[in-house]
Amino acid sequence: MATCNSNVMIFHTQIASIMEVLANAAVAEICKLVDDDYAVFRLEITQSQKENRTLRRKLQLLELKVARERAERTVRERVLASRPSSVKILDRYRGMARGHLTGGHRSFVKPAGHNTWRDDQPITVDEGSGTSTQHVIVIESADTEAAGPGVKQERSEGEEDPQHSRDIRTGAPHVFTEDPTTTPAQPRDSSITLNAVLKSETETLKRLGRLGCPPTPRSEYLLYGNPSHRTVLSHRDSGNALQTGNDPTCSYATEMIPGDVPVGLDTNPIRGDWNQYSSSVYSEGFLDKKGEGLVVDEVTVKEEGDAPLTWNADEAHLGEGQSQGNTSDFLDYRESLEPNPNIATHSPLHALRDRDPVSTSMAPSDSHGRILFDQVLNSNNKARAQAGEGGATSGGNKEKRFFCMFCNKGFNCPQKVEIHQRVHVGVKPFSCSQCQMRFSQAWNLKIHQRVHTGEKPYSCSQCHMSFAQTCNLKRHQRVHTGEKPYSCTQCEKRFSHQHQLKIHLKVHTGERAQYYPQTSGHES
DNA sequence: CTGGGGACGGGGCCC
DNA sequence: TGGGCCCCGTCCCCA
């Protein structure tokens, strides 16, 4: 009996071991199957995800296409319906007919207060203390523009359309179709994109609107994650000019309807408001590897209708005495733009111009209501020429990430942009205590003051003469060296002054001055 | 018309 | 980063 029991025990033990082996085998088999299936499953998931992405992309493209067509239709209808005269979007440089510029620069004209193509959807920003209404332009860069020129409809921040946001991010253009007969300059290149760019601009306007408020230490240039180049301009809605005119926050309202109550923008740079302003009104961008810089050209200074606009030069601090000569340039340029009350710009010039409708001591308007921004344009033209020569990429090797919103010139630090933009806005914060002359740069004031002090620190080593400026000494020394680096291309005459050559060239065929300095020090 | 100086604007470089 | 300075371009004026 005992033997029988022991046999049974052994049998059970063997069965148990067999069962265990079988179980292990089964588990291994199951694991193998699971692993295989899992691999297959993951593969399927991956493929599905790829398909999803593809479909999503297609969907986006379709949405963008639809949105663009819709915008195009809307814009065209509005333009045609409410704008009998044309809007010219001109290449500013081409408009100047100065021949300095090559492609890649574009300008735009911002619709004015009673604009026609702008969607009446002001950006209403609750600032706590008040409501600010603004419109923002984002100018798309070339890459985003590749799909075609675009206009983006404005939209208020609070009701930002997801579709619209997607458009912004993707740069999907909405086609703004100009009347081809009225936009001969370069309608193709003119990309106007309205956008609700928002927070930074809101902050910018906040600061701009705060008279006497301490400047925010941080510059509020616009930073885009998207490397595509955009320039953002903003302004108050002219339609709200009246209300903003009394708005204690004020603003840098640029779209004054002629005759409207001026917005109380205090542009007194002495108080630093303009510094606030200017530090706010540039955009940060990125040069592409080719150094082509931004595609956007600059704000086109545009005359508004027939309004006898004036401005207080005393407050605007335009450069007295610096208007010689270049007024005609500006006028020429402006005449290339058809006066269209529907068109305005975001140029702070407008803010300045509209700043004070009373005083007009140095900004006379002609019978056509033109404002002679000669002082501004005097220097602006120079800046334009320089921008044309080098544009955003001119100058040193330092990366230029900060761009003037007016001329697209690139600088390597915000302060430089701020200083540079005084060229465009006519701000001259530095005033001479003895003659009230004003200067945009401190150094220029310092040089100027030598006029009063009689200081002439630069002496000629070969004669008794001394000069207040190094360049004048340098020029003078040509008298001794006999150097005449400027030669006429029409005759063999040579000049030591570039300006002499310029004058001389008029003797020939009235051609524009062309000088070919033949010394290394005067290439220009 | 030419030669030359005064002066300003503005960008770039350097510290 | 910002101020000081340099340098160039330009306009004006005068002899």
Alpha carbons A371 and A325: distance in angstroms, whole number: 16
Are residues A323 and A374 in contact, defined by beta-carbon separation less than 8 angstroms? yes
Segment among A106-110, A457-461, A514-518 with least mean pLDDT: A106-110
Two structure tokens written together for A405: 């919103």
Segment among A245-249, A457-461, A511-515 with least mean pLDDT: A245-249
Interatomic CA–C1' length for residue A479 and nucleotide B3, angstroms: 9
What pLDDT is stored for residue A28 in this prediction? 75
* Average confidence (pLDDT) over A6-11: 66
Interatomic CA–C1' length for residue A496 and nucleotide B3, angstroms: 9
pLDDT: is A474 or A492 the higher one?
Answer: A474
- State percent of chain A over pLDDT 90: 0
Residue from A422, A333, A406 nearest A370 by CA: A333
A431 touches strand B (CB under 7 A): no
Residue from A346, A356, A475 nearest A404 by CA: A346
What are the beta bridge partners of residue A344?
A110
Alpha carbons A71 and A105: distance in angstroms, whole number: 25
What pLDDT is stored for residue A127 in this prediction? 29
A41 touches strand C (CB under 7 A): no
What pLDDT is stored for residue A290 in this prediction? 32
A469 touches strand B (CB under 7 A): yes
Segment among A74-88, A277-291, A317-331, A409-423 with least mean pLDDT: A317-331
In the predicted structure, residue A265 carries a pLDDT above the cut 60: no
By DSSP bridging, strand A494-495 and strand A438-439 are unpaired
Interatomic CA–C1' length for residue A499 and nucleotide B6, angstroms: 14
* Average confidence (pLDDT) over A250-271: 31
What pLDDT is stored for residue A275 in this prediction? 37
What pLDDT is stored for residue A396 in this prediction? 38
Q: Which residues are within 8 A (CB) of A388 and not within 5 positions of it... i.e. 6 or more apart?
A: A93, A98, A100, A101, A102, A105
pLDDT: is A73 or A185 the higher one?
Answer: A73
Residue from A458, A436, A212 nearest A314 by CA: A436
Two structure tokens written together for A71: 């915008």
In this structure, the number of other CB atoms found within 10 A of the CB of residue A373 comes to 27
Are residues A99 and A389 in contact, defined by beta-carbon separation less than 8 angstroms? no
What pLDDT is stored for residue A408 in this prediction? 76
Inter-axis angle of helices A273-280 and A199-209, nearest 10: 170
Q: Which nucleotides of C are covered by protein (CB under 7 A)?
A: 1-13
**pLDDT confidence band for A197 (50 / 70 / 90):** very low
A520 touches strand C (CB under 7 A): no
Residue from A116, A89, A117, A109 nearest A174 by CA: A117
In the predicted structure, residue A109 carries a pLDDT above the cut 50: no
Interatomic CA–C1' length for residue A399 and nucleotide B14, angstroms: 17
Helix (H, G, I), strand (E, B) or coil at A234: strand
Interatomic CA–C1' length for residue A506 and nucleotide B7, angstroms: 24
pLDDT: is A451 or A232 the higher one?
Answer: A451
pLDDT tens digits, A384-429: 333 333 333 333 345 667 778 777 777 877 777 888 888 887 778 7
What pLDDT is stored for residue A11 in this prediction? 65
Segment among A73-82, A93-102, A481-490 with least mean pLDDT: A93-102
Concatenated DSSP letters of A93-130 = HHHHT-S---TT-EEE-EE-TT-SSS-S--EEEE-SS-
- Cα distances from A167 to residues A55, A123, A171, A497, A515, in angstroms, run 18, 17, 5, 54, 48
In this structure, the number of other CB atoms found within 10 A of the CB of residue A134 comes to 32
What are the beta bridge partners of residue A193?
A138
pLDDT: is A435 or A248 the higher one?
Answer: A435
What pLDDT is stored for residue A175 in this prediction? 31
What pLDDT is stored for residue A34 in this prediction? 61
What pLDDT is stored for residue A114 in this prediction? 32
Nearest amino-acid residue to C6, taking CA and C1': A470
A502 touches strand B (CB under 7 A): no
Interatomic CA–C1' length for residue A418 and nucleotide B4, angstroms: 36
Helices (H), A374-469: 374-389, 414-425, 442-453
What pLDDT is stored for residue A77 in this prediction? 54
Let me know if A420 is exposed, middle or buried by CB neighbors in 10 A (0-12, 13-18, 19+). Answer: buried
What pLDDT is stored for residue A247 in this prediction? 32
A216 touches strand C (CB under 7 A): no
Interatomic CA–C1' length for residue A479 and nucleotide B13, angstroms: 28
Helix (H, G, I), strand (E, B) or coil at A497: coil
In the predicted structure, residue A505 carries a pLDDT above the cut 60: yes
Alpha carbons A253 and A266: distance in angstroms, whole number: 11
Range with top average pLDDT, A179-193, A310-324, A361-375, A503-517: A503-517
* Type of residue numbered A306: D
Interatomic CA–C1' length for residue A423 and nucleotide C13, angstroms: 25
pLDDT tens digits, A115-171: 333 333 332 323 233 333 333 233 333 333 333 333 333 333 333 333 333 333 333
pLDDT tens digits, A312-335: 333 333 333 333 333 333 333 333
Interatomic CA–C1' length for residue A443 and nucleotide C5, angstroms: 8
Residues 51-80 of A with CB under 7 A from strand C: none
Q: Which nucleotides of B are covered by protein (CB under 7 A)?
A: 1-13
In the predicted structure, residue A507 carries a pLDDT above the cut 60: yes
* Average confidence (pLDDT) over A352-360: 32
Average pLDDT, chain A: 48
A382 touches strand B (CB under 7 A): yes
**pLDDT confidence band for A41 (50 / 70 / 90):** low
Alpha carbons A74 and A265: distance in angstroms, whole number: 34
